[in-house]
Amino acid sequence: MDSNDPVNQPGIDNPDQVAPQNEAEPSGTSEDPVPDGGVTRTTDQKELSPTGLRTDLVLAIGIAAPALPAVEAAAEAGGFVLEPVPTLGEGIARIDAVIPGHIVVGHEFGSFNFRSLCSVLRSDPEHRAIPIALVTEAEPRSLDVGLFGPDQILPLTDGLEHDLTDFLSRFQARKTFSDNKDRRRLVGRVLLTEDSLLAQRIVGRLLHVAGAQVTTVETLAEAIAALQRDEYDLILLDMEMSQMSCFDMPVLLRHQGIETPILTLVGHLIDEYAKDAQEYGVSGVIAKPVRAHELIHKCEPFLREVA
């Protein structure tokens, strides 16, 4: 088992991943060449989702020249658009403008500090769900990635293109939408309230790659504050957080006047929770360990599906 692969960690069941298929490019797309060996940089003329998320965009930050061909090939094979930026500052500025579907960062690139980027993104509830891969010439197990590490560490070897293709397809769920069309996007805002870092990572990334903009918080107080600031289409609520028990959390949200639909994440006594859910203002229950097809299927009715 790869210790750097969060999908295959114990307790997570996600058998529905497939490599992305090519999507037709919407009209209005404009690409400008940049002096990097055929790599293209997209402009903002391409249609964005209402939330500012571009699921087809792979942002490559600080990638060394020897790794660029493999990154470009993997993005092209998956039907993604690659946008390379050379510096940490430019990368963060770009993420503030357009939320990418995936990020690939380089390790050996001058003074570039991948830990800074990971820390910035992982500490921001609005960007915590973006999958990140680190490309490095070093032995992956020798790196100190810190608390907020990347989802996957990829060695700069002859197998890099294959590894990147796998990374870009890792959180894609196949035939999970109601009409069984692959890679159709969900459009909407989801507030994920979950205190398990591993569950945050899996659930957040699956929904992010499907097209939802995910805000991740760890406590009920943070969830209430987020709901008072912004509007969301759906709340995903871990029912086994330490602050409150059973259905106290959704009841408190309803007493606060919050009418946003709630789906709960439950690891045990699932039938019992499901039987009483509607009485407490909960629209449905999702079992842990989370399965990709069940997660998307349960969330789909509350998010605007677009072709």
Domain annotation covers residue 174: no
Q: What is the pLDDT of residue 149?
A: 80
Q: What is the pLDDT of residue 39?
A: 40
Shared domain for 199 and 164, answered yes or no, is no
Domain annotation covers residue 38: yes
Q: What is the pLDDT of residue 108?
A: 64
Shared domain for 39 and 73, answered yes or no, is yes
DSSP the chain: --TT-GGGSTT-----B-PPPP-PPPTT--EEE-SSTT-EEE-TTSPPPTTSEEEEEEEEES--GGGHHHHHHHHHHTT-EEEEE-SHHHHHHHHHHSEEEEEEEESSSTT--HHHHHHHHHT-TTTTTS-EEEEESS-GGG----SS--SEEEESSTTHHHHHHHHHHTT-BSS-STT--TTPEEESEEEEE---HHHHHHHHHHHHHHT-EEEEESSHHHHHHHHHHS--SEEEEETT-SSS-TTHHHHHHHHTT--S-EEEEESS-HHHHHHHTGGGT--EEEESSPPHHHHHHHHGGGSEEE-
Q: What is the pLDDT of residue 271?
A: 73
Q: What is the pTM of this model?
A: 0.77
Pairing verdict, β 81-85 and 40-42 = unpaired
Q: What is the pLDDT of residue 35?
A: 34
Q: Say which residue the tokens 């870092």 belong to.
A: 197
Q: How many CB atoms lie within 10 A of CB 193?
A: 27
The packing angle between helices 160-169 and 68-77, to 10°, is 40
Domain annotation covers residue 9: no
Domain annotation covers residue 176: no
Q: What is the pLDDT of residue 298?
A: 92
Pairing verdict, β 152-155 and 284-287 = unpaired
Domain annotation covers residue 177: no
- Counting as low any pLDDT under 70, the low residues of the chain are 1-51, 108-113, 145-148, 173-184, 242-246, 269, 305-307
Looking at residue 277, which CATH number applies to its domain?
3.40.50.2300
- Distance, in Å, from the CA atom of 19 to the CA atom of 167, rounded to the nearest integer, reads 9
Domain annotation covers residue 10: no
Residue ending a domain, among 169, 196, 222, is 169
Shared domain for 154 and 223, answered yes or no, is no
Q: What is the pLDDT of residue 30?
A: 36
Contact present, 17 and 173 (Cβ < 8 Å) = yes
**Of 256, 255, 265, 209, the residue nearest 234 (C-alpha):** 265
Q: What is the pLDDT of residue 250?
A: 84
Shared domain for 54 and 160, answered yes or no, is yes
**Of 8, 266, 299, 79, the residue nearest 176 (C-alpha):** 299
Q: What is the pLDDT of residue 245?
A: 62
Domain annotation covers residue 68: yes
- Our count of domains for the chain comes to 2
Domain range for 70: 18-169
Show the tokens assigned to 14.
């996600």
Q: Say which residue the tokens 């009920």 belong to.
A: 220
